[in-house]
Amino acid sequence: MVKEAKQVLQETFGYNQFRPLQEEVISKVLKKKDSLVIMPTGGGKSICYQIPALIFDGLTIVISPLISLMKDQVEQLDEYGVPALFLNSTLTPERYSENVRKLKKGEAKLLYLAPETLMMESTRELLKGLTVDCFTIDEAHCISEWGHDFRPEYRQLATVRKDFPDAVCLALTATATPRVRDDIQQILEMKDSETFVASFDRKNLLLQVVDKQEPLEQILDFLYTRPKQSGIIYCFSRRQVNELYSDLKHEGHSVRPYHAGLSEAQRTRNQEAFIRDDIQIIVATIAFGMGINKPDVRFVIHHDMPQNIESYYQQIGRAGRDGLQADCMLLYSYSDKQKIQYFINQKEGEEKKVAEKHLDALLHFLEYDGCRRKPLMEYFGEEYPHDECGMCDNCLQYKDNMQNYTEQAQKYMSCIARTDETYGAYYIADILRGSKQKKILENGHDKLSTYGIGQEWTKNQWIQLSRLLLRKDLLKKDPEHGSLKLTAAATAVLKGDERVEGILDRTQATSDEDKPSRTSTDVENKHNADLFEKLRAKRKELADEQEIPPYAIFPDTTLMEMSYYFPQDDESLMAIYGVGSVKLKKYGDDFLPIIKEFTENNDVDEKSKAIKKKVEKTTEKKKYELVGEEFNNGKSIEHLAEQFGVKAVTILSNLKKYLDDGNKIEPEGILEASTLSQRKIDEVYASMDKVGADILKPVYEDLDKTVDYGELRVLQLAYLAENGAS
């Protein structure tokens, strides 16, 4: 069955390998073993039930708390050619009836429901007549009062679960402390369930906590260096959302608000605009985001402190779900802490105790002066194994990221002095860059000694320098006109008596030229940006035609690979990440001509060798497959150990993997590796019949520890080969 799962992964979803823990979870689900999965946002939880749904004969029910998530998931699955439906209040009566008809006819593999819809008598009656193989509960932390988003209606899922006695139960969440995990399993009565906990380390997220001083200016600084990027800004209150939305809109940013004070229709419109790339930024309260599946969110800003670590982790988890680097900046001030404390003081008893504990843990994280991943992961019961991550503000500061900008500061401040301190930052930057704009020529500023002496830097870098000089009190800004003035401290720098050192962008702990690279790849850093934009435009056009989010067609990672490898035909395109057979057929003719035209016009060749390697990598046999085939061709375990230069126990392990993949192997050849008598072998087999062969410890103890584990491994493999691997 695992072999079939891998086939579905590649052919339907276009991925060459499973992410951490996905294969293990899918294997358990296919064996109908209840499982609790704790996997960070963007870790690939959906695949854990979507692939089994395509393999099971019956229906997979997915309980999801948000309508937007259902719609999003169903749209994406439709793009992969997977039959999925949802039932909720947004459907017209006609569409609802049509979906019910399809369910009854067995035309769907997945059904998405809100807990409230599931609890309806009509829904329960409908489902009683269907074969349900998998009962999946997404955002399972909502079931626990110790979770950060407790929902009483989730408690009732335990009773409904009993409607499907033959269905495997899979509970999924991105955020659960050990206490919440125990709670989930107890409430859902998952007595013998497996628990899978993926690492909480989202390596591609750059974590920053910045002292909140001038929040609007800090956010404008941040956005200035990230044009055209998609991001979410979280605020504490509706009023703050509205104010920041107005300010950003006034500054020319593509932005919409989202909070509970807007009508449901307006919230839906704004969310759709964000998901479909009609706008770049959403400014929101915590009402926004649960279940948002947009993979190319490049930043999350917290204008105000979140209420606890779970909320923070879940909110930053909406960034970088495509695996590319994303920036998470939190603006922290003492007054924000007081606000949260005020709300906690309104609570009583156990609820207040829990809230206090959450606040203490959050403050520990915010005020920590070492690697930020240590307290963050420790909170979720995981130890971070490194001293530094290289992807948080503290670690980047340790890397001595301060730079000497004295020479550039002298150029900038000289130019301000020579223009009589009457102009703003942008005009000064234009003079230094040698701009030929009309105003500069009319004012005769092209004759200044500072004209054109700053062409080594971009305009953006000069603007960032002006902000650094303002923060160091070397400049001050005229509040009415915005013109820059030199302070008394500037004289020492101009004379060469003082140095100017710092980080150019206070919201970016590393400069653009030296961005952290431990999560980035050649594809991310060296793809052709012009071709990428052309492919993005085509993707948007196709998405608008079908009224679906652009990422449902292809994520950015796929377009980056196309812009790096320049595939020229179907075979090459099929090797690109995220292009399965369904999408190749559906979109190959839309994207290949753009790539071909670009390569012809720009005299660029397909990276055929690299693509060939990529194709080979997706199809090459793994070592255990080679071992299995050689064994079935008559080679002994001893011979194979010699051939591959490993111990016999490694060959046994490879054969077990080959067997688990759904292949057959001959048990006779395995027994040749055993030194036990036939009588003893029969005794071991009888024990395996009694206590099962999957785990060896019960067999070892049942035989009073008279047969060692080395022999038991040999006989386990022979037994499973003979009786069929479970």
The structural domains of the chain, with segments of one domain joined by +, span 2-197, 205-398, 403-502, 522-615, 623-723
Q: At which residue do the structure tokens 């992964």 appear?
A: 9
In the CATH scheme, what architecture does the domain 522-615 have?
Orthogonal Bundle (1.10)
CA nearest to 339, candidates 304, 302, 287: 304
State residue 524's pLDDT score: 82
> Which amino acid is it at 641?
A
Quote the percentage of the chain above a pLDDT of 70: 92
Question: What mean pLDDT comes out for the span 641-657?
Answer: 78
More confident residue, 311 or 301: 301
- Mean pLDDT of the residues in the chain: 86
Confidence of residue 341 (pLDDT cuts 50, 70, 90): confident
Max avg pLDDT among 128-137, 241-250, 450-459, 626-635: 241-250
Q: What is d(CA 22, CA 656) in angstroms, rounded to the nearest whole number?
A: 19
State residue 55's pLDDT score: 93
Q: What is d(CA 455, CA 407) in angstroms, rounded to the nearest whole number?
A: 13
Those residues with Cβ within 8 angstroms of residue 393's Cβ, 6 or more apart along the chain or in another chain: 207, 208, 209, 210, 372, 509
State residue 515's pLDDT score: 45
Q: What is d(CA 577, CA 595) in angstroms, rounded to the nearest whole number?
A: 16
Please say whether the beta carbons of 591 and 551 come within 8 A. Answer: no
**pLDDT exceeds 80 at position 492:** yes
CA nearest to 13, candidates 82, 59, 72: 82
How does pLDDT run across 538-575, given as a tens digit for each residue?
999 999 999 888 998 998 989 999 999 999 998 889 88
**pLDDT exceeds 80 at position 343:** yes
Q: What is d(CA 557, CA 554) in angstroms, rounded to the nearest whole number?
A: 8
Radius of gyration of the chain (CA): 30
**pLDDT exceeds 50 at position 516:** no
Question: What mean pLDDT comes out for the span 644-660?
Answer: 80
Looking at 3.40.50.150, 3.40.630.30, 3.40.50.300, 2.60.120.560, the CATH number of the domain 205-398 comes to: 3.40.50.300
**pLDDT exceeds 90 at position 536:** yes
How does pLDDT run across 358-407, given as a tens digit for each residue?
888 998 898 887 899 999 999 888 889 888 888 998 887 744 456 789 99
**pLDDT exceeds 50 at position 514:** no
State residue 509's pLDDT score: 40
Question: What mean pLDDT comes out for the span 164-185?
Answer: 86
Residue 388, SS3?
coil
State residue 517's pLDDT score: 44
Q: What is d(CA 399, CA 392) in angstroms, rounded to the nearest whole number?
A: 11
State residue 213's pLDDT score: 77
Q: What is d(CA 590, CA 603) in angstroms, rounded to the nearest whole number?
A: 21
The CATH number of 623-723 is 1.10.10.1390
Those residues with Cβ within 8 angstroms of residue 509's Cβ, 6 or more apart along the chain or in another chain: 206, 208, 392, 393, 396, 397, 401, 503
Mean pLDDT lowest for which of 14-23, 197-206, 403-412, 618-627?
618-627
Global pTM value: 0.61
Q: Does domain 403-502 have CATH number 3.90.550.10?
A: no
Confidence of residue 10 (pLDDT cuts 50, 70, 90): confident
State residue 577's pLDDT score: 83
State residue 724's pLDDT score: 65
Question: What mean pLDDT comes out for the span 38-62?
Answer: 89
Q: Does domain 2-197 have CATH number 2.40.10.10?
A: no
**pLDDT exceeds 60 at position 507:** no
Give CB contacts under 8 A, 24+ apart, made by 182-185. 183/143, 183/144, 183/145, 183/146, 183/147, 184/36, 184/140, 184/141, 184/143, 184/144, 185/36
Confidence of residue 622 (pLDDT cuts 50, 70, 90): low
> Per the structure block, which two tokens stand in for 572?
């090459």
Q: What is d(CA 390, CA 386) in angstroms, rounded to the nearest whole number?
A: 10
**pLDDT exceeds 90 at position 484:** yes
**pLDDT exceeds 60 at position 439:** yes
**pLDDT exceeds 80 at position 289:** no
Angle (CA) 576 527 594, round 5° = 65
> Per the structure block, which two tokens stand in for 229?
């990027």
State residue 520's pLDDT score: 59
**pLDDT exceeds 60 at position 342:** yes
> Which amino acid is it at 141?
H
CB count in 10 Å sphere of residue 346: 9
Give the max Cα distance, the chain: 105
Quote the percentage of the chain above a pLDDT of 90: 39
> Per the structure block, which two tokens stand in for 410?
């002298």
- DSSP letter at 622 equals P
More confident residue, 439 or 625: 439
Give CB contacts under 8 A, 24+ apart, made by 470-475. 471/502, 471/506, 472/500, 472/502, 474/409, 474/413, 474/500, 475/413, 475/416
Confidence of residue 65 (pLDDT cuts 50, 70, 90): confident
Q: What is d(CA 102, CA 120) in angstroms, rounded to the nearest whole number?
A: 19
Please say whether the beta carbons of 115 and 150 come within 8 A. Answer: no
Q: What is d(CA 391, CA 602) in angstroms, rounded to the nearest whole number?
A: 36
- Could you check whether 205-398 and 623-723 share the same CATH topology? no
